[in-house]
Amino acid sequence: MPSVMCEGVQVEFPFEPYPCQKDYMRKVIQCLQMSKNGVLESPTGTGKTLCLLCSTLAWRHTYIAQQELGKCLKGSNGGGDGAGAGAGAGAGAYKEQLMTDLKAASGWGEGSEEGLFIDRPKIIYASRTHSQLSQALDQLKDTIYRPKVCVLGSREQMCVHPEVVKVESNSAKVHMCRAKVNAKMCHFHNNLDNKKGEKAFSEGILDIEDLVKLGNAHKVCPYYMARELKTSADIIFMPYNYLLDPKSRRIHGIELQGNIIIFDEAHNVERMCEESASFDLTSFDLASCVEETDHLLKKTVEVTMLNERYHGEGMGGDDEFDAAGLATLKKLFLDLEEHISSFNIPNHSDGITKPGSFIFEFFSQVNINAETKNELMQLLEKMISHLTNSSTVFHNKAAGLQKFHDIITIVFSRDGPEGSSRTQLTASQMTKYYKVHIRTTEPTQKKTGKLDVWASSSSKPKKKGN
């Protein structure tokens, strides 16, 4: 394959690169050598993805070689007696020149921050969709580079357990999967330790479809296998939200410091951030929350009555709920609906808009704030897990409670510095970047006919910009 020198780095390319491709790769390597962020643009069809992959992998290879050689030469002795001394001096000069050349190629020295990258930095490659990631992986296969690769996906795409895949809701899949894994009832996950060292998974460039096929063939979980492969991977492919969402980064163990971060198709990042930090809270959602809470409340009361009648021990163990707590939560949802319905929205208008900090005032009316949200979220998680994994036929599988849990996570996602008022700091940020819009929509009827949807107002914090 042809190779081209870009800023002292030899880049292997599948074909003779065009001038615009050489310029693009040169700019990528300059960013890496200078430890700077870069925003690079090139017309459609000019091979941006291929240029990104080849130049970044080439620079990484040179950087690692420089690190390894530097360690070998660091303690070497170039001196000696007589003729040996002269040879040693010559070798020392050669080593010094070699170090200078490698430093110039990798950019570790003048013009960059020494030690900014870790010894063996990973390349984290993010794009908007998994189909775009698959295209990037296909292009990587066309190059001479064969790094250790990992692609991260969701259970929705990677789970192969026959019971879990039948569940429609993604959140329900998550809870059912976790329950089976914790109880060691998923034989696909149980096989992980025995299968993770097999060459079929550790060699080659595998996309999600490849992992799923191998998972089915080897009876091992592709989702957790991908997380195992991430540990030793040289390049990790993932969708934007895995990288942008701090919670997702913590869950997947993604470290930004000292690694190389690539946002492909970066013009989509702003919209993705806006969508990730925005939500609708409708009367339908609150009606679902009430229905789901009421279902658990009735079940808890029935169990309590049976226990009192027969003086038996508690039924359900960790799945037991306090009836008074569930009744309080049900009232909280009813009060929220009442607060939404109380807004005076002019007829024939698009609604009313308030500053982003208003969302804190709205939730504080039912005592949801930075101090109480953790206890509330723990209860919601327990309820969601119970409803998701319960054998009782319940048509919506905690969809309302899951959405409300996600909303509380978004609203209270930012914590202030230690010792500061988290609510005040976040309120200031929310006023600057968010708006709350309240509007009226036409009421609808749930498909089951069991519950009328209440007055259909909605509250939507929407991000305005960075």
Q: Which amino acid belongs to residue 189? A: H
In this prediction, residue 331 carries a pLDDT of 95
In this prediction, residue 32 carries a pLDDT of 94
Helix then strand then coil, in percent of the chain rounded to 5, is: 55, 10, 35
3-state secondary structure 362-376: HHHCCCCCCCCHHHH
Taking Cα atoms as reference points, which of 225, 259, 224, 223 lies closest to residue 243?
259
- How far the first Cα of the chain sits from its last, in Å, is 42
- Tokens (6 digits) for 91: 């070798």
In this prediction, residue 266 carries a pLDDT of 85
Regions of the chain where pLDDT drops below 70: 74-116, 308, 310-319, 391-397, 414-427, 442-466
Q: Where are the domains of the chain?
A: 3-106, 123-276, 281-463
Q: How far is CA 245 from CA 242, 250, 264, 361, 439, in A?
A: 6, 9, 17, 25, 28
Give the pTM. 0.74
- Tokens (6 digits) for 9: 């780095």
**Do residues 7 and 19 touch, judged by C-beta distance below 8 A?**
no
Pairwise CA distance, residues 466 & 261, whole Å: 19
Fold observed for domain 123-276: Rossmann fold (3.40.50)
Contact partners, residue 61, CB within 8 Å, separation at least 6: none
Element (H, E) at 326: helix 323-341
Sign of the CA dihedral with 281 first, then 375, 164, and 190 last: positive
Contact partners, residue 239, CB within 8 Å, separation at least 6: 126, 127, 128, 129, 130, 133, 152, 153
Buried b (16+ CB within 10 A) or exposed e, 1-22: eeebebbbbebebeeebeeebb
